[in-house]
Amino acid sequence: MQINWKKNPLIPAIAQDYKSNQVLMLAYMNEKAYNLTLKSGYAHYYSRSKKRLWKKGESSNHTQEIKDILIDCDADTIILKVKQNGVACHTGRESCFFTSILEDRVILDKKVDTNVIYGVVDTLYHTIMERKNSKKNIKSWTKKLLNDRDLMLSKIREEADEVATAIESESDNQVIYEVADLTYHTLVGLGYRDISPDRIKQELARRFGMSGIEEKESRGKK
C-alpha cells in the first residue's frame, strides 16, 4: 500500500517503542521526511511551525532508530516502531503522553536526570516549560513572568541594560551575575514563544561553523 502524497501532503506519524509498544510522540511527515526516514533508518519529520524538515535528536542525540513502519488502512497515518535513544519528550520523560485529561493527573513514569544528559541551559529551559504547561497553581517567578508578558519583556530589557552597564564599568563577577540573569529571562522569553534553545544553537552553528581555513579565506576577501 502506497501513500498518496498528492492527496495527503502531510500525514500524522506516531512513534512507538518497538519493544514495549509505548506511544512516545506524535509528529508529522511530508514525502521528503518519509523518504529520508526510509533512506537513513532514523525518524525524520516535518515541522508545521518551523516549516522545515527535522531529524529527531538532531541536537540532543535522542534519535529514533527505525525498526518497522506500519501504515493504516486508509494509507494516511503511519506508526513508526522505533528504538528510542534517550527520551522522546523535551521534558525529559520517556513519552510525550504523561498527563491524564479525565483524571487531571500526571502519570508517573521513568523520568531521566536531565542534568546528566543535557547542559544547564537545556535543563533550565525544560524546567521553564514544565512551569508553563503545569495546570497546578504554582507560585514561582517563572510562572509569573510567563503569565505577564509585559513584565517579562520589561525584565529582559532591564537585564540587558544591566549587562551592558556591568561590562562597561563593573567587576568580572558582576558581569557574570548579570549575564546569568539575562540568560534566564531570555530563556523564559523563548519558552513563552515555544522556541527551543536548540534553534539558537543551530543558528549560531550556521553563522560560525566555518573551519579555520574557510574563516581566514573569508576575512581575506573583505
pLDDT for the residue numbered 81? 97
The reported pLDDT for the residue numbered 46 is 94
Which residues have CB under 8 Å from 8's CB, separation 6+? Answer: 75, 76
Per-residue pLDDT, 129: 87
Pick the closest to residue 123 from 73, 157, 87 (CA basis). 87
Measure CA 140 to chain center: 23
**Residues 40, 192: Cα–Cα separation, whole Å:** 34
CA 103 vs CA 94, 109, 119, 131: distances in Å? 20, 16, 34, 20
Determine phi and psi for 174, rounding to 5 degrees: -70, -35
Residue ranges of domains in the chain, CATH in brackets: 1-112 (3.10.20.810), 114-208 (1.10.287.1080)
pLDDT along the chain (222 residues), means of 10: 91 96 95 96 91 86 94 94 89 78 58 57 84 81 95 97 97 95 96 87 76 42 45
**Measured distance CA(203)–CA(197) in Å, rounded:** 10
Distance CA 141, CA 94 (A): 28
Given this model, what pLDDT does residue 187 score?
A: 95
Task: Record the pTM.
Answer: 0.53
Residues 79/16, Cβ–Cβ less than 8 Å: yes
The DSSP secondary-structure symbol of 93 reads B
- 169 alpha carbon, distance to own chain's centre: 37
pLDDT the model gives residue 90: 73
